[in-house]
Homo-oligomer: A and B are copies of this chain.
Amino acid sequence: MSERLIVIGGGGAGTATATIAKRLNPKLKVTLFTEFPDIAYSPCGIPFVHGREIDKFESLFLSTVDRYVEDGLDMRMETAVTDIDLARGTITSRNTHEGFDKLAICTGWTWEKPKVPGANLEGLHYVKDIRAAMEFDKELDSMKRIVVYGGTPIGVEMAGNLAHRGLQVEFIDEGPWALSELLDPDVAEPVHESLTKRGVTLRFGTRVEEFIGDGNGRVRAVSTTDGQIECDAVIVCLHKIPSAQLAEAAGLKLGTTGAIMVDERMRASEPNVWAAGDVVEVPHGLSMIPIRGLTGSHAYAQGRTAAFDIAGQDLKYDPVWIPWGMVAGDYTIGGFSIGETLATAMGVPYVVAKGVGVSRARYFPGATRTNVKLLAEPDTLKIIGAQIHGGEGVKERADFLAFAAKRGATLHDLAWMENIYSPPIGALFEPVAIAAQNGLAALRDKAAA
């Protein structure tokens, strides 16, 4: 009889594990369980449909259930798994047991719920499921004032997009500036400007104390440390929590972050069990401290790693350097690893190299300023983090720097890197090199002083 793989979860990690394992080993019998009716859509696109930058939710679907079935997968849609029995090698779903030889747990994450009165009122919306987003989008048509609560990337995207749609947006964040767990204040500044320009009211250092109902079980206002704010709905964008309950109940080890511990092949603590995506933790390349809550591309890559191992092929998942990037308002920001704020909080010593360049020859139409800040180890000058903001090329530079850091590149390497100079696409001086050169010059001056 052919070997049987059960995958729990239909997000990036789950679909990658299932489809790649099947492709690498066509004899494998692969069953994928998901509690949702849809598969293979891009949740990351949801804010932009709300903001009408993308025309319709249907555009976010990348594939169909039928396509997966055609590829030979047994797809169990709208089917929650309620128990895992590792000793017997079974899962329970709809009160039925199903056996597996290999199991991949890709149960993802859920939003942290606010721990204040009124958190169960209707009108508190969480951005995740596309069907819920479609319903909410219709409701938005008759709404005027929205509170976005939580300075996380999705919170910032939702605030910018809802303002773009013409709604009055109140952005409430306990942090001192936008994305304060990720971003340095100098990079947050243009983000604030851009959100404000879109009409978003920013309230930092503000805590929600209560969600106030209208008497019919629906939110009508938010009571905050900065006063009461009337609203038609609240978008809650606090932290992501790993959905590790099933795995924990099955006896799998969780790590310090509350996510499933896995090795470099995405194997969990028991034999024949893999886990991938937002439900696992992986080591950070710089600190080797376990972290979680990464991106869709990380989830997919982890699923692929699990699939390779499941199919008996050799692929290891390296510690992550986490290039990241997003559009906040109309402003693009990004980076990799840590910024100054996080380095300071973690007690990581660093030197800074900062520079500003342009994305094209400065006289060429469309040229934008590109700001680069590099963090480097004081002794070796190896780069350990970066924050980039500006118009074009933020994503490509962040990817590049994460790759370079992983391979031990120093400020010297970056300062004298070769770069393309061609007026419509690149300036004489590459912004990354400018930053590194400035940093080296500052160190020379400091040494000379």
Chain A: residues with CB nearer than 8 A to chain B? 12, 42, 44-45, 48, 53-54, 59-60, 62, 295-298, 300-301, 315, 317-318, 320-327, 332, 334, 361-365, 392-400, 402-404, 407, 409, 413, 416-426, 428-430
Is B53 a contact of A419 with CB atoms below 8 Å? Answer: no
- B residues less than 8 Å from A421 (CB atoms): 44, 295-297
Per the bound structure, the CA–CA distance linking A365 and B44 in Å amounts to 15
- Cβ contacts A to B, 10 pairs, < 8 Å: A48-B423, A53-B364, A53-B424, A301-B418, A318-B416, A322-B418, A325-B422, A393-B393, A396-B396, A404-B404
Known: A54-B364, A428-B296. A323 touches B420 (CB 8 A): yes
Residue of A297, A300, A397, A416 most packed against chain B (CB within 10 A)? A297
Is B430 a contact of A418 with CB atoms below 8 Å? Answer: no
Given A300-B428, A334-B425, A403-B413, 19 extra CB contacts under 8 A: A42-B428, A44-B421, A44-B422, A45-B363, A54-B363, A60-B363, A295-B420, A295-B422, A315-B416, A322-B418, A327-B424, A334-B420, A393-B396, A395-B420, A399-B417, A402-B418, A403-B417, A403-B418, A404-B407
Nearest 7 A/B pairs, CB to CB: A396-B396, A297-B421, A59-B363, A400-B400, A395-B426, A325-B420, A395-B425
- B residues less than 8 Å from A12 (CB atoms): 428
Per the bound structure, the CA–CA distance linking A420 and B337 in Å amounts to 12
Copies of this chain in the oligomer: 2
Per the bound structure, the CA–CA distance linking A404 and B429 in Å amounts to 19
Closest to A44 in B: B423
Per the bound structure, the CA–CA distance linking A325 and B430 in Å amounts to 13
Per the bound structure, the CA–CA distance linking A363 and B420 in Å amounts to 29
- B residues less than 8 Å from A399 (CB atoms): 400, 417-420, 426, 430
Is A364 a contact of B45 with CB atoms below 8 Å? Answer: yes
Closest to A59 in B: B363
Is B323 a contact of A418 with CB atoms below 8 Å? Answer: yes
Is B424 a contact of A398 with CB atoms below 8 Å? Answer: no
- B residues less than 8 Å from A417 (CB atoms): 399, 402-403
Per the bound structure, the CA–CA distance linking A407 and B395 in Å amounts to 21
Which listed residue (B48, B334, B396) contacts A397, Cβ 8 A?
Answer: B396
Q: How far is the CB of A423 from the nearest CB of chain B, in Å?
A: 5
Which listed residue (B361, B400, B428) contacts A403, Cβ 8 A?
Answer: B400
- B residues less than 8 Å from A362 (CB atoms): 62
Per the bound structure, the CA–CA distance linking A404 and B399 in Å amounts to 12
Per the bound structure, the CA–CA distance linking A62 and B364 in Å amounts to 12
- B residues less than 8 Å from A402 (CB atoms): 417-418
Is B301 a contact of A416 with CB atoms below 8 Å? Answer: yes
- B residues less than 8 Å from A334 (CB atoms): 420, 425
Closest to A397 in B: B396
